[in-house]
């Protein structure tokens, strides 16, 4: 069950970096930071759901002033304990509504974090919150997966994404409500433990409408941070919406 840190309390924060080590490889991080640094220019930049600083710290190392918003104190404590973490200003709160300023050149969400907002209303609020904190001409960037519903045969609601002798992981989907959850089963000394995190999956066209409601317009959409074209076969997208210049 969630606590004041949401679903990313101490029990998750303690092993989060290890469990996401694949996403922290330079080959994954550097292309993302390259794009974000280019969009930020002279900054400042704001990361929504900053977590332990996987992207924020290398972006700050480029000389860009990076701020963050996150509900989880446990995750932010990990960020602050890392080299350079004390230079990143973080506001504790719900990133759908919490404000850190109103003159950011860049606001961004990475690694499916938009899906952590489990209602459409909250996702719409997030776009409005991002737009309110952008200066004219600034950009809002979202990296998020495309729902993998084509793998669901009739009558099935779960899609496995990891199976080993000690760990099982699978996503469940409700196509009527767009609710989903990521579920993890770990086996230690013959005993199984299960934990689950709820999400709400969202389609690219739906995000575009949220952006329009917030006064933003689509500038770019790529398959990945390498700026490959987004196609019907893409498993995720990186989308850039721009706040019109005054």
Summarize pLDDT for 70-94 with one digit per residue, the tens: 999 999 999 999 999 999 999 999 9
* 126 in the same domain as 59: yes
Task: Indicate if 181 and 210 belong to the same structural domain.
Answer: no
pLDDT in tens, 195-234: 899 999 999 999 999 999 999 999 999 999 999 999 999 9
Q: Give the long-range contacts of residues 110-114, CB within 8 A, separation 24 or more.
A: 110/32, 110/47, 110/49, 110/54, 110/55, 110/141, 110/143, 111/20, 111/23, 111/54, 111/143, 112/143, 112/144, 112/145, 112/199, 113/48, 113/49, 113/144, 114/142, 114/144, 114/202, 114/207
Give the pTM.
Answer: 0.94
Asked if residue 18 and residue 133 are part of one domain, the reply reads yes
Domain count, the chain: 2
| 141 and 106 within one domain | yes
How do residues 37-59 score in pLDDT, each as one tens digit?
999 999 999 999 999 999 999 99
Q: Which domain holds residue 209?
A: 10-146+202-242
Residue 2 domain-assigned?
no
């Amino acid at each position: 069950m969630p606590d004041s840190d949401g679903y990313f309390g101490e029990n998750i924060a303690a092993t989060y970096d290890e469990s996401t080590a694949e996403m922290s490889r330079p080959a994954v991080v550097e292309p993302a930071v390259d794009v974000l640094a280019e969009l930020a220019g002279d900054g400042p930049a704001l990361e929504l759901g900053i977590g332990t600083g996987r992207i924020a710290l290398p972006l700050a190392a480029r000389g860009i002033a990076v701020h963050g918003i996150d509900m989880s104190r446990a995750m932010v404590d990990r960020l602050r304990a890392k080299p350079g973490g004390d230079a990143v200003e973080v506001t504790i709160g719900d990133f759908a509504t919490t404000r850190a300023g109103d003159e950011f050149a860049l606001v961004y969400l990475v690694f499916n974090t938009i899906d952590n907002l489990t209602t459409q209303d909250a996702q719409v609020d997030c776009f409005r919150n991002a737009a309110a904190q952008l200066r004219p001409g600034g950009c809002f960037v979202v990296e998020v997966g495309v729902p993998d519903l084509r793998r669901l045969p009739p009558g099935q609601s779960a899609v496995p994404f990891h199976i080993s002798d000690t760990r099982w992981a699978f996503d469940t989907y409700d196509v009527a409500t767009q609710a989903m959850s990521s579920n993890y089963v770990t086996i230690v000394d013959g005993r199984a433990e299960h934990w689950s995190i709820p999400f709400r999956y969202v389609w690219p066209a739906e995000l575009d409408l949220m952006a329009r409601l917030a006064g933003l317009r689509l500038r770019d959409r790529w398959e990945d941070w390498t700026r490959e074209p987004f196609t019907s076969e893409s498993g995720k997208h990186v989308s850039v919406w721009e706040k019109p210049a005054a």
